[in-house]
Amino acid sequence: MGTIGELGEFGLVGRLTRRLPQGPDVLLGPGDDAAVVAAPDARVVATTDLLVEGRHFRRDWSGPYDIGRKAAAQNLADVVAMGARPTALLVGLAAPLDTGADWAERLYDGLADECAAAGASVAGGDVVGASEITLAVTALGDLGGAPPLTRSGARPGDVVAVRGRLGWSAAGLALLAAGGGGPAELIAAHRRPAPPYEAGAQARGLGATALLDVSDGLVQDLGHIAAASGVRIEIGSAALPVPEILGPDGTRHVLTGGEDHAFAGTFPAEAVLPSSWSAVGVVTEGAGVLVDGRDPGPGGWDHFRV
């Protein structure tokens, strides 16, 4: 099928565009100078992420389809964490000219399929040559007339709860780094996260006071809620969802592992949480995050930590 350099920019864009079905929110998709996306709420939720080869993914560990799904998931989950409905994705791809055209097509298949799972679609983007593969992804969403769910609404007395897998991606990454042995489900979870996209609307319906996407580790991300809300969050390790498949380091993976894109929120004490949510702690007066009454120390992912 050749390389993207042999196809040229317009040839590649044409092939990729044909692989991108459009949902009802994209009024004008790829092919013009810009896309047109519906904004029925008159407000647009927007978020963006960069994924750099060697830093966020490795091609010897993940295929292009999984990389595409992962790139879409981490952005779509941020939209959902605001209590919004994802509508569209814009994707910038920089890649060496000898990258196979079929590799790029499978990448876009993954982007499109993950968007479909969240009810969104890829509306457009850009493709350029570069020395290494980099993805720049922007996701858009609609609030449907409701206020956004932010990190700053937690109040003392609230319950802290999580929904979705925690620690699976970190456990899978550890297996890959050790040579790839171990449960295939964990390696698959690292390659392709599975955010429960319905969690945002559900959290709003349950009266959530704060919500976020767990991308950098539960303790670190709950610290963002604590700081923004001016409260302390206290977690009990015995309440954490730690399945046996995570192995002896399961609790550590759940507390500090990122890239599962589960959701963590705070809810009024009287909220009746369904079984899909696990209550793991409480909000109190104070600052920071405590685990079993102790400061857990630094953990989680930091792009600028050596």
Binding residues for Mg(2+): 33, 47-49, 78, 126, 213, 216
Reported residue count of the chain is 306
* Residues annotated in a binding site: 33, 47-49, 56, 78, 108, 125-126, 151, 213, 215-216, 259, 301
Q: Which of 265, 241, 230, 252 is nearest to 300 (CA)?
A: 252
Cα-based angle 230, 217, 80 (whole degrees, multiple of 5): 75
Q: Which residue type, as a one-letter code, is found at position 163?
A: R
- Cβ-count burial of 249 within 10 angstroms (0-12 exposed, 13-18 middle, 19+ buried)? middle
Rounded Cα distance, 119 and 200, in Å: 13
Helices (H), 40-100: 64-81
* Residues annotated in a binding site for substrate: 56, 259, 301
Residue 161: half-sphere exposure toward Cβ, Cα within 13 Å: 25
* Residues annotated in a binding site for ATP: 108, 125-126, 151, 215
Rounded Cα distance, 271 and 266, in Å: 10
Helices (H), the chain: 4-17, 64-81, 101-118, 168-177, 184-191, 199-205, 218-229, 250-256
- Residue the block writes with tokens 């500090």: 256
Residue 25: half-sphere exposure toward Cβ, Cα within 13 Å: 24
Task: Output the six-digit token pair for 20.
Answer: 């991108």
- Residue the block writes with tokens 């969690």: 199
